[in-house]
Amino acid sequence: MTAPLVLVITSLEDVTADLVIAALNEREVPVARIDPADIGPALTFGARIGPGAPTWGGRLATASREVELGDVAAVYYRRPTPYSARYGHLPAQQRDFAAAEARHGLGGVLNHLHGATYVNHPGAVTAADFKPAQLQTAARLGLAIPPTLVTNDVEAARKFAADHGPVIYKTFRGLPRSENVHTGAIWAQRVDPESFDDALAATAHLFQAEIPKTGDVRVTVVGRRVFAQQIAAPDGALDWRRGDWDQLLHAPIAVPPEVEAALHSYLAAFSLVFGCFDFALIGDGDQAEDWVFIECNPNGQWGWLPDAGDITAAFAEILSTSTEGGGAR
């Protein structure tokens, strides 16, 4: 076994991961970066387990270095390339088979490195990525949430709009890439219940009562550290994400103690170390009841925020501390 290290699992070009890697390098913490979708000549591995060796050991090898699995003390899991992208040139059945084998084989090993600290574990990210689970957990912990309906029933949607209008619609997931690899987005938007028809039955929809908000807040929690910024779009957009992020206005804001305690309990409920929380404010933000929970992204972006430097340091602190105990065991 050599020096314990941090394994960063991410795509080749990820600015957020770059920030954390640079901070770890400044601390002289050994770091290895891989994208599991590189599996093939650019990424080979051999993992072993058996009698007398009850935890996964072996090596990962990239074009630039080799990593002993037993040396991995912490894993920073950041939006790696989907395995399916590696096999996009294959016929559909072969593509799906190869991607599933890679995900369950290589991914299965990487997700179960004994003794390693995960920020965040991909299994926890998956569980925490469902908006119905997020809203129920937030409500159970005492956070205010908007009246919400998940449905494919047009009459239920119409009644909800009549009871809680005006209403907004939002997606559960981001818009998938098109066949020509173009990306897009569907932002939270006001909807007219007069437009509801039987086509709504085709899939699930999420409707919420529109909050008469005075502002938006992004709260980034890393371990016990909490960073909060009030955000305003110059054009007053309902969803601040839809415009030019360089034009957004930011101001630090204090999080009420009751809300902060609930955020830590929320992360613990999903076995998360980190999360990006979005809130709508309905007052000046001094009281807990002014804060309305919207959602939590368990693998969210934060590199664009004014306090990104402090957030980076918080990530580096958690990951580097894990290496001081001698590595995964």
* CATH code at position 66: 3.40.50
pLDDT value at 26 more than 60: yes
Query: What pLDDT is recorded for position 178?
Result: 60
How much is the pTM? 0.92
179 inside domain: yes
Residues 133 and 238 in one domain: yes
* CATH code at position 135: 3.30.470.20
329 inside domain: no
Average pLDDT over residues 93-109: 96
Higher pLDDT, 243 or 76: 76
Residues 141 and 237 in one domain: yes
Higher pLDDT, 184 or 298: 298
Confidence tier at 121 by pLDDT (50, 70, 90): very high
Query: Residue 163's domain spans which residues?
Result: 147-210
Other C-beta atoms lying within 10 Å of the C-beta of residue 215: 19
pLDDT value at 181 more than 70: no
Residues 74 and 100 in one domain: yes
Residues 164 and 141 in one domain: no
Residues 127 and 245 in one domain: yes
Q: Residues 210-235: pLDDT tens digits?
A: 999 988 999 999 999 999 999 987 77
d(CA 85, CA 20): 25
pLDDT value at 180 more than 60: no
Residues 255 and 174 in one domain: no
Query: What pLDDT is recorded for position 50?
Result: 95
Residues whose CB falls within 8 Å of the CB of residue 52, separated by 6 or more in sequence, listed in order: none
Other C-beta atoms lying within 10 Å of the C-beta of residue 111: 17
Q: C-alpha distances in angstroms, 302 versus 11, 103, 124?
A: 17, 27, 19
Residue among 77, 15, 11, 13 at smallest CA distance from 304: 15
Higher pLDDT, 301 or 165: 301
Confidence tier at 327 by pLDDT (50, 70, 90): very low
Residues 136 and 269 in one domain: yes
257 inside domain: yes
Strand partners, 226: 221
Rg from Cα positions in the chain? 22
d(CA 240, CA 231): 8
Confidence tier at 247 by pLDDT (50, 70, 90): confident
In the three-class reduction of DSSP (H, G, I as helix; E, B as strand; rest coil), residue 30 is classed as coil
Residues 249 and 136 in one domain: yes
303 inside domain: no
21 inside domain: yes
Query: What pLDDT is recorded for position 173?
Result: 83
pLDDT value at 183 more than 70: no
Q: Residues 262-312: pLDDT tens digits?
A: 999 999 999 999 999 999 999 888 899 999 999 999 999 999 999 999 999
57 inside domain: yes
d(CA 44, CA 25): 25
Residues 260 and 180 in one domain: no
279 inside domain: yes
220 inside domain: yes
Residues 202 and 238 in one domain: no
Biggest CA pair distance of the chain? 67
The answer to whether residues 60 and 43 touch, using CB atoms and an 8 Å cutoff, is yes
Higher pLDDT, 57 or 183: 57
Average pLDDT over residues 32-44: 95
The answer to whether residues 205 and 144 touch, using CB atoms and an 8 Å cutoff, is no
Residues 140 and 108 in one domain: no
Choosing from 173, 195, 210, the residue where a domain stops is: 210
3-state helix, strand, coil in the chain (%, to 5): 35, 30, 35
Residues 127 and 241 in one domain: yes
* CATH code at position 194: 3.30.1490
Q: How many domains does the chain have?
A: 3
Average pLDDT over residues 321-329: 64
